[in-house]
């Protein structure tokens, strides 16, 4: 990895490490989201506090940082010799930063919102396809985690047709899907045992 690529990847990881669930909650005088509910610092868990505005701000913040990291790398990177592979690494770095944030003891969220932000940075049609899948599944099954998992499984399929199998970002989408699904292993167990609550209940998939 070149010095330039390392600098961009590190910057993306640090951007990802900004946990908006914790930041927003602290700014609004709320309890740390890691101290209640599922303990997951994500929008769904913040919503359990009853503060819808805080949950929306968390969702937007976590999504925006994914887009910002990729967009900045795509915009500034080529000027400094950053390749598409480098941009793809930045996409993964911001997601890893969200999941394992250096600023918050490496205890982060599950990555759904940040992953969607990343997809917006990679391809607008790809991001819209993922969101449409989540919305459709959420309407049908009314389970947030299951909707997110189905969307994750289908994102690489969408990427195959939208970006093409030769695109470096096709591989990036596969890795994103695998990592996000892995972070939802507790939700998978609940789904298989029929314990996962529906949207508005106790489940957490953000």
Residues in the chain: 206
What's the confidence (pLDDT) of residue 203? Answer: 44
Closest CA to 130 of 107, 113, 110: 113
* Residue-wise pLDDT tens digits, 165-181: 999 999 999 999 999 99
Instruction: Please name the residues in contact with 27: beta carbons below 8 A apart, sequence gap of 6 or more.
Output: none
* CA–CA distance, 188 with 150 (Å, rounded to integer): 11
What's the confidence (pLDDT) of residue 165? Answer: 96
Range 107-122 average pLDDT: 95
Q: Does 201 have pLDDT greater than 70?
A: no
Range 85-113 average pLDDT: 95
What's the confidence (pLDDT) of residue 16? Answer: 97
Domain range annotation of the chain? 3-192
Distance of CA 103 to the CA centre of its chain: 17
């Amino acid at each position: 990895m070149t010095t330039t690529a390392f600098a961009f990847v590190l910057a993306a990881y640090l951007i990802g490490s900004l946990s908006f669930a914790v930041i927003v909650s602290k700014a609004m005088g709320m309890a740390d989201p890691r101290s209640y509910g599922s303990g997951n610092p994500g929008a769904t868990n913040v919503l359990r506090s009853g503060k819808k505005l805080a949950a929306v701000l968390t969702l937007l913040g976590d999504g925006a940082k994914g887009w910002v990291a990729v967009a900045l790398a795509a915009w500034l990177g080529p000027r400094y010799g950053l390749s598409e592979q480098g941009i793809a690494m930045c996409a993964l770095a911001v997601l890893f930063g969200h999941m394992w944030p250096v600023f918050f003891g490496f205890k982060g969220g599950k990555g759904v919102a940040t992953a969607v932000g990343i997809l917006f940075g990679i391809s607008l049609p790809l991001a819209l396809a993922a969101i449409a899948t989540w919305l459709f599944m959420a309407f049908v099954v009314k389970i947030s985690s299951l909707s997110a998992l189905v969307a994750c499984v289908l994102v690489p399929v969408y990427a195959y047709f939208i970006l093409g199998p030769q695109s470096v970002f096709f591989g990036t989408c596969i890795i994103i899907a695998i990592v996000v699904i892995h972070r939802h292993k507790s939700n998978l167990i609940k789904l298989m045992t029929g314990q996962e609550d529906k949207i508005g209940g106790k489940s957490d998939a953000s």
